[in-house]
Chain A
Amino acid sequence: MGDAPGMPRPQTGREPLLRRLDRVDRRWIFLLMAIAVAGPIVWVGVTGQTFPEKPTPIVEGAFRAIDGLPEGSRVLIAFDFDPASSGELQPMATAFVRHCALKRHRIYAMTLWAPGSPIIGSTLGEVVGGDPHYVYGETFVDLGFQSGNEGVIKQVGSSFAKAFPNDSRGTPLAQVPMMQGIERVSDFDALVCVSAGYPGAKEWVQYAVSPTLTGGRRLTFVAGTTGVQTPQLIPYYPVQLAGMLGAIKGAAEYETLVNGKALEASPGTKVEPKYQEAQRRMAPQLFGHVLMVALIVAGNVIFFAGRRKEARA
């Protein structure tokens, strides 16, 4: 691999090492990143080893918010993401649905992102598909997608049926048994949002949760967010957000808590691999992060060494 096509080569002699390192073709860096991520994936895939995860308070807050609800509570889960972010967010969505299933909560799924619709179907099918307790229309329902972004959130704040006249299968909401008693979003016992960006957790905080802080029934809200969005939502914790799963690390911590709860309920059973997706992805994270730190340090060492050399010259 040499310079990109068209880049001029030095005319006289061999370039000094520093200059060569400073001008290294970025494709070598791409290759290093590919190895740093692909290698651990193969290693984890073959060995099944994962790193231990110690849950942080903000993730424990999210866990307690769902776990503290009485069995059979009504939980609205907003799958506000698309396949582009599913690498980070799918494990969160799976863990949330599983946690609700362990507590036998009634699950109401919806999305504000059009590509999120099939994700609802595949996640619910994966987690509660073979569970006899979960019967469509009675213990779980897929409300599908509605366009309008925060307009939909504003609408469900006053009239759920207006925002979602029917579920994803075309059944009018009035004919879905578990929608009885649900008039607006604050009628739910908890709201969970797995959010990739806009519209997402921030809009749910602004349009659905915050209005309930000042009057009426306060809505418990838990979010799972991408790494990019996590710092933007920190100020909402713990008043408007009961807890948050930040990036794949948050997902791995939450998986640890949920798997622990499942093992408590059924000691001696093995955790299914589909419930350890985030924990498996922490291995490539480790090597990727170490590579990033090494690249930043190397870049600075080369830069300052070059500057010192120029100053002497």
Chain B
Amino acid sequence: MSLGGSTHAPAVERRANRMMIAVLAVVCALLAVRAFVGTTVGSGESARTVHGFGAVYVEAAPKAVPEQAWTEWREVPAGAWADATAKDPAQESVQVSWPRTVGVWFAALMTLAVFSFLWRDNPLYKLAESVVVGVSAGYWMVVALWDTLVPKLAGSLVPEWTKANLMPSLDRTAADWWSLVPLGLGMLLLCRLSARLSWLGIFPLAFVVGTFSGLKFVQFIESDLVAQVATMFDPLVVVKHDAAATPGAVAAVDWAGSVGASVGAVLVLVGVLSVLAYFFFSLEHKGALGRTAKVGVWYLMITFGASFGFTVMGRIALLAARFEFLFDDWLWIIDPAGKH
């Protein structure tokens, strides 16, 4: 199986591979130590040490209706297993869920595979990437099928059959033949898969572009132009008052708050006008317009600096969440939410 060529010298490639294998060996050794050390689950008399980690415990959920022939399982903390086992060592109502445990381990190994890209591109990362590409595409297709196509297309065109086989709760009985329009457009769209018939795809594309253009024309003007310009007519001199000492008494003017709010309002107005001046390219940026545009650039730099700060904040939060999964759900090193 060809996994793709490498552009590095063979000796360098071998050294890098040896380094990766060494790191993997160290990680496996650490995991073995972690498994051996064990974790105490449960509390009090039912506390016991479990060697291993990353297990998911489940218990049988109550039946939705008495006639229900199957068992639904819901996740419970490991402590619930310890308590149940302390009462009855032979109990099976709370047990390890092997599909979910395998799932946690698979998720953890895939997480590490993606992180391994930080070291260098490698087959493990490419494998994880391939899996997620296939799974994501399949996921979106399945959701589109069951959430939109079945109720709105099949349910409209063949309601009796849909009710009998797919959606028994469907309340439509008569077919809505107008649904043939989106079905027809959809079939034309699928023609894009064929090189010979792909030209037919311009009609549904034209429909989409036309609908979008009509939608956006009105809403962008209403929401982003009119409403935003209307906000610019807020007062520039703002007078704030302190809370009244007693009900009915005249409240004193909050001078610091009033000056701050007024300065802020002026700065916002100056900022909006100067940034708009910067983006006005029909006239050369010189003289008064040039100086105004320069102020606009400063405002934009402050805006981008703030955007950068918030972007960093967002990315670090995502990284923290992944580490929490590894340390909490997989390795059982921490347990902030009392899951085990």
Contacts and interface: CB of A to CB of B under 8 A. Distances in A.
Do A and B associate with each other? yes
Interface of A: 4-6, 27, 30, 33, 37-38, 41-42, 44-46, 48, 84-88, 90, 114-115, 117, 144-148, 150-151, 154, 165-166, 168-172, 174-175, 205-207, 209-211, 213-214, 226-228, 230-231, 235, 239-240, 246-249, 273-274, 276-277, 280-281, 284-285, 288-289, 292
Contacts of B170: 166, 170, 172
Contact of A175 (B140, B171, B334): B171
A243 B3 CA distance: 50
A241 to B, nearest CB: 11
A230 B38 CA distance: 43
Contacts of A146: 147-148
Contacts of A6: 7-9, 12
Contact of B334 (A41, A171, A174): A41
Contact of B222 (A211, A231, A292): A211
Interface in B294-321: 303, 306-307, 310-321
A130 B315 CA distance: 33
A288 B316 contact: yes
A235 B228 contact: yes
Given A6-B12, A288-B312, 14 more contacts: A41-B324, A46-B334, A84-B318, A114-B140, A114-B143, A151-B211, A175-B169, A210-B219, A210-B223, A211-B219, A214-B222, A246-B310, A247-B310, A247-B314
B227 A210 contact: yes
Contacts of A88: 314, 317-318, 321
Given A175-B171, A285-B316, A235 B231 contact: yes
B169 A166 contact: yes
B118 interface: yes
Interface string B143-154: 110011001100
Contact of B320 (A175, A273, A281): A281
**A interface majority secondary structure:** helix
Contacts of B13: 5
B311 to A, nearest CB: 5
Nearest to A205: B223
Contacts, number: 179
A247 B312 CA distance: 10
Contacts of A288: 312, 316, 319-320
A175 B170 CA distance: 10
A4 B327 CA distance: 29
Contacts of A46: 334
B313 A247 contact: yes
Interface in B150-180: 151-152, 155, 167-171
Contact of A172 (B119, B144, B169, B335): B169
A22 to B, nearest CB: 21
B223 A166 contact: no
B264 to A, nearest CB: 12
Contact of B311 (A4, A175, A227, A274): A227
Nearest to A172: B171
Contact of A239 (B9, B231, B313): B231
